[in-house]
Chains A and B, each alone.
Chain A
């Protein structure tokens, strides 16, 4: 470090190395190009993220678009107290939590299982082929995924066609409120299990082969090796992903739900994000919808933060730090 500093100091150099202790103005002059390079993206974040964050102010207003933020009446926490009394909002929260819980139970382990399955494959070509296939659905839009599922599981779709051909009774999956939540989770599993696998596969690569060998010598079978070698090696990454998922518990994929909400009705399909959209943009109740959105955002941020704290307590590195 010191040697490098001396060397660069000796060379008379138009852009001196980044040395600590230089005054602010000197550093700005030295880094002017870099600062200019930052500006476009910085402007984006300031306008579309922090501008929007400031826009949450309307949660405390009886917001009328025509009057604008300055012209609308300040109502304090009225929107929030109305929200807490609104059964539709609680229904949406309940649906959201239910879908998230189902995802945690069924979708979360899917990529891990797939990774373990694929990791046990030795054949290079088969493995590459399977990987390419299972990654693909991640890149397909929700519109298309929903269309595909309708085509396969819908009333006139492939599944019911085959059931009918064999004289069996048909089952109504699409458009059935009782089946909505399992359907939605099934779609996520189909779409993103393969993609979620990447990170587990990479972690599996880093497990020391010698551990498996010595475990095998000690007489450990496949299950015991999985339990004592593989899973401990994956623990940090599992903890990390679990934290991310817990922080996300109030978001269940807006586009996916929005596309299928009409076919089963809001009682089964309304989640917090769609609730915000339909009360705000569709019904024009802006301040109220913003209050619901802000509530969701604050609770979500608290969830991420506390899940991270818990992970630190447990000795994992968590998302940040």
Chain B
């Protein structure tokens, strides 16, 4: 039973990776997809990466992911830390303000208007600022911080450390697991998001990889890049499409094993206390 489940989960990945690595002739001969390539060829990757569109989109995605994850973690850690301290000034109303967003998330239209009014349309920051802090991640992190024994705060305060120093020197080093997991959640959501790009960036040359992939693979559009489009129609378009899919997949699969072991620890502490 479990073998079947594992196979169902992994099979699509195998087909996509194999197809992207097969020679164009093999892909055509086998009717568009390959389970195990007879001969490995990186031609599809060379074609994809020789054009402007995919390389540029990958760079945009990487930058947005790195900058976004950093800013998100910064804002989430600071608010979670402040809200984790009992009796902090303004703590209760601010927490309520955050929790209410669970009950009533803003809709697409009003969010669009805010982004427009703040002047973020067609800016890369439109991919970051509207999703800067995730309330769920915040609650997870606050729960983790609350689990740190009070005695540590007291001891540090007696030693003359201020609140900022306690955060940097004591709380953060104890919270590596939760910071790693929440960081992964943010990074994955930045890397995977395509809709905000379509919504907020009219200029499609600014689009990240997932938005380009969306155009190219799921809508069947040609890449707006003559060199790739031409060779794509000459050769097997499938191996090229699948190469783009694999490129969009690689960062996730690379980071995943390192952070995976923290999942349960990091998420459950927060969720139970939440």
Q: Which residues of A approach B to under 8 Å, CB–CB?
A: 4, 8, 11, 13-15, 17-20, 24, 27-28, 30-31, 33-35, 37-38, 40-42, 44-56, 58, 65, 114, 117-118, 121, 126, 129-130, 132-137, 139-144, 146-152, 156-158, 161, 190, 194, 198-199, 201-202, 254-255, 258-260, 262, 273, 276-277, 280-281, 286, 289-290, 293-294, 296-297, 300-301, 304-305, 320
Contacts and interface: CB of A to CB of B under 8 A. Distances in A.
Interface of B: 1-2, 5-6, 8-13, 15-16, 19, 30-33, 35, 74-76, 78-79, 81-83, 85-90, 94, 97-99, 101-114, 116-118, 129-130, 132-133, 138, 154, 157-158, 160, 162-164, 167, 188, 191-195, 199, 210, 213-214, 217-219, 241-242, 245, 248-249, 252-253, 256-257, 260, 263-264, 267-268, 271
B138 A281 contact: no
Contacts of B268: 198-199, 202
B110 A47 contact: no
Contacts of B112: 280-281
A24 B267 CA distance: 35
B219 to A, nearest CB: 7
A49 B96 CA distance: 13
Nearest to A41: B79
B154 A38 contact: no
Given A42-B79, A143-B218, A150-B218, A134 B9 contact: yes
A293 B132 contact: no
A56 B107 CA distance: 8
Contact of A296 (B101, B107, B192, B260): B107
B111 A144 contact: no
Contacts of A149: 12
B79 A139 contact: no
Contact of A144 (B33, B109, B129, B245): B245
Contact of A27 (B30, B89, B104, B138): B89
11 contacts: A4-B154, A34-B163, A55-B111, A58-B109, A117-B2, A137-B9, A146-B218, A148-B245, A157-B32, A158-B15, A320-B99
A161 B31 contact: yes
A226 B112 CA distance: 49
Contacts of B256: 136, 139
B266 to A, nearest CB: 11
Nearest to B213: A143
B268 to A, nearest CB: 5
B67 to A, nearest CB: 15
Contact of B113 (A41, A58, A121, A255): A58
B75 A44 contact: yes
Contact of A151 (B111, B117, B242): B242
A139 B193 CA distance: 11
Contacts of B138: 41
B259 to A, nearest CB: 10
A193 B73 CA distance: 27
A249 B14 CA distance: 34
A102 to B, nearest CB: 19
A139 B33 contact: no
A-B pairs, 4 with minimum CB distance:
A293-B107, A55-B110, A52-B106, A141-B192
Given A14-B160, A34-B163, A151 B15 contact: yes
B30 to A, nearest CB: 8
B162 A148 contact: no
A52 B31 contact: no
A290 B94 contact: no
Most chain-A Cβ atoms within 10 A of its Cβ — which of B90, B116, B263? B90
